[in-house]
Amino acid sequence: MFMNMKRAKLTAWGMAICFLLIHVLMISIFIQCGVTPMAKFNVFSIVFYIFMLFVVYKEWLQLYAVAVYLEVAAHMVLAALLTGWGSGFQITLIGMNVLAFFAEYTGRTLKLKYIRMMPMCILGMIFYLSVYVYLHFNPAPYALPEKAEFWLSILWGVIVFVINLFVLQFLVIIANKSEEQLEYQLSHDKLTGLPNRYYLTNHLDTLQNGKEDYWIAISDIDDFKKVNDTYGHNCGDYVLKTVGEILSDRGALCCRWGGEEFLFVAKTSEIPNAYEFLEKIRKEIEKQDFDYEGVPFKVTMTFGVSASEGKRVHDIIHDADEKLYLGKHSGKNRVITSRYSVENPILEIQDPLTRVKNKVAFEKTEESLNLDIQHGAANFGIVLISLKNVDEINKKHGQDKGDEYILGSCKLICGVYINSQVYRIKPTEFVVVITGSDYYARGELMADLSDAFKRSTDSSDNNPWHRYEASIGMAVYNENSKDVSEVLNRARSRF
């Protein structure tokens, strides 16, 4: 908001001082012209405006606006009645209407108690016309010299024009500043100060219609939900704001894409090597010391990058998002680009039979969880499932049925732990890392999994390779846990 109390007070003080100086000048003119009543009235006006300076200091702006309008109206009506229409005093009532509406605007903007100035201005118009009619039929008791009337008319004309020009120019500035501020609020994220999707849409349209190559990267704060769950949402806001400060003014346009995701856009001609650019940012965030209410912790980010290469913006963003997903599921805290990613990287972390994550992926997750343990931010549980009878089914019914047995067991596990990561770490062993909502419902989910295996075993309609049996153990991280291996061993001991 451009208009504030400080600006309003400075404007009011300036007007009061100007009116005070005008009345000092008027005393001299009226004394020289022998208009004693008006000389006395101007003494009152001088005292009045000195008091108005105090009124503004106390921020009684609504009283100031009404009182000043009435004083000017009274002064100008009385001066016109005493000295005649030719002196031009009545012209100032026109200028006061502009000031009156400006005062109402100020009151509305600052959420103050204000008086509607339209009735006051209508009253001023009535005064103006009434004085003209009265003087048409009744001569003024005091006749000013022709030279005095000439210069007074010029003086009042200049004052009225200056008032109108000042207020109108000021309103133009306010309107322009307000539009700029509104546009900024619409196009920028309030928390981080970065541009938002609204701003980005226009920028991407410009790039799409141009002929230059560019690249887009989507980044995500790793394990941000853990930060909120462990330290609270205020800490999450602190992390977002700090990361936003690091990402801003880097040479590429960075906006808050949503939640804990940020999107980068840059022309290839300006930043040709997206990997090196983002890797530098990734390392800087990794080294950044975060501290909230005396608790130190670390934050990392994962990036997915895609070059334009003649593709549509939607396809570029989709490609970058897929690479981000790959980075999140291959250890996090890395930059994934089409140029620097390994060939067929998904196959490296995916079990070919069950399509869940494999041992390599679990080892990456284990590294991440151990890092959380070191920083005191760990909050997870592990469910270990060891399948029985696999060798027996392979011997009696063949490898295909054995694979079907493993695949069916995996579907049971994934059907229960829909919000957690499932890994196949051995041919007959699965690990579930439970976090989030599954962590808090771990007891119920453990019972559901046991019931699911039991129902398949008890059903006489099922073939042997559809009767799933397993040993199941669960352990939760606690303060005595040194690392993930210790939690995993506790889960194994509870078979």
- DSSP string covering 483-495: SHHHHHHHHHTT-
| Confidence check: pLDDT of 243 > 90 | yes
Mean residue pLDDT across the chain: 88
Overall average pLDDT of the 331-347 stretch: 64
Q: For residue 340, what pLDDT is reported?
A: 43
Overall average pLDDT of the 329-346 stretch: 65
Exposure b/e, 110-137, CB count within 10 A at least 16 = b = beeebbebeebbeebeebbeebeeebee
Same topology, domains 197-346 and 357-492? Answer is yes
Beta bridge partners of 424: 358, 430
- Give the model confidence (pLDDT) of 120-134 as tens digits: 889 889 999 999 999
Q: Where are the domains of the chain?
A: 5-187, 197-346, 357-492
| Confidence check: pLDDT of 384 > 80 | yes
92-109 and 61-83 helices, crossing angle to 10°: 170
* CATH architecture of the domain formed by 357-492: 2-Layer Sandwich (3.30)
Instruction: Check residue 376 and give left, alpha or beta (phi > 0: left; psi -120 to 50: alpha).
Output: left
Distance (Å, whole) CA 366 – CA 380: 11
Its pTM surpasses 0.75: no
Beta bridge partners of 14: none
Other beta carbons within 10 angstroms of residue 173's beta carbon come to 11
Contact 446, 420 (CB under 8 A): no
105 confidence band (pLDDT: 50, 70, 90): confident
Q: For residue 425, what pLDDT is reported?
A: 94
* CATH architecture of the domain formed by 197-346: 2-Layer Sandwich (3.30)
In 136-185 the beta strands, taken as DSSP E runs, fall at none
Distance (Å, whole) CA 97 – CA 267: 54
| Confidence check: pLDDT of 341 > 70 | no
- Give the model confidence (pLDDT) of 28-42 as tens digits: 999 999 999 999 999
- Give the model confidence (pLDDT) of 398-408 as tens digits: 998 999 999 99
| Confidence check: pLDDT of 225 > 90 | no
